Amino acid sequence: MPAAKNPKTGITAQQEEFCQFLANNPQLTYSDAYRYAYATGNMKNATINRNASSLLDNSKMTTRVDQLKNERAIRTGVSADALLVQLDDMRTADVSDIIDSQGKLIALKQWPKVWRLMLNGFDSIEMLSKGGESSAVLKKVKWIDRLKVIELIGKHIGVQAFQGKFDVKVGPKKSLQELLIQAAAEGQCEKNH
């Protein structure tokens, strides 16, 4: 007897677990979600990968994952657009915002928020003045990897800089060269230099 399907979503309880895991753990793979939702102890990795991929060929599954991601975005107040804006702010941050006219770092509390968010760690020393007041001086600053920020922007669903996919309709009487010229003329393909 086939597993009962939810009347609203049209998917089974195990498929729902798969979708929930995938939507709430975007850093993990489809195969990880499949291992979570299904008994895979005796399966080979290739079988797990194939089964996970075939689940996502089902439009009901992808619709459910998208729905869960949207619900999470509403619940957390974090949208893909807001994240993209924050990543782009990090990408374009200018170091002159945190350096004074003599080339020294200004006080940390005076840094713009974007620079404080990009701070990954720092070493400081405490100095005492003659009046007994102490102040901290930054000696070493460690930043987040800005290349990783650029990579994340490129992978963003709205940017898709690394997808490299385009549709070309193939007719029986056109050469590959003619098709590429046609695709470029229609704006479907960009020439890489």
- One domain for residues 136 and 96: yes
Q: How many CB atoms lie within 10 A of CB 167?
A: 7
Tokens for 143?
A: 């930043």
Q: Of 8, 101, 112, 102, nearest to 60 (Cα)?
A: 8
Q: Is residue 35 part of a domain?
A: yes
- One domain for residues 27 and 55: yes
Q: Is residue 43 part of a domain?
A: yes
Tokens for 117?
A: 């968010």
Question: What's the whole-model pTM score?
Answer: 0.48
- Whether the predicted pLDDT of 162 surpasses 70: no
- One domain for residues 68 and 94: no
pLDDT of residue 43: 92
Q: Is residue 153 part of a domain?
A: no
Last residue of a domain, which of 46, 76, 106?
76
- Residue pLDDT, tens place only, 111-126: 899 988 888 887 777 7
- Residue pLDDT, tens place only, 102-111: 888 888 889 8
- Residue pLDDT, tens place only, 52-77: 999 989 899 999 998 998 888 788 77
Last residue of a domain, which of 36, 56, 76?
76
Q: Is residue 7 part of a domain?
A: no
Domain, as residue range, for 139:
86-148
- One domain for residues 20 and 47: yes
Tokens for 87?
A: 């990543």
Q: Of 140, 98, 137, 138, nearest to 115 (Cα)?
A: 98
Number of domains in the chain: 3
- One domain for residues 72 and 104: no
- One domain for residues 71 and 32: yes
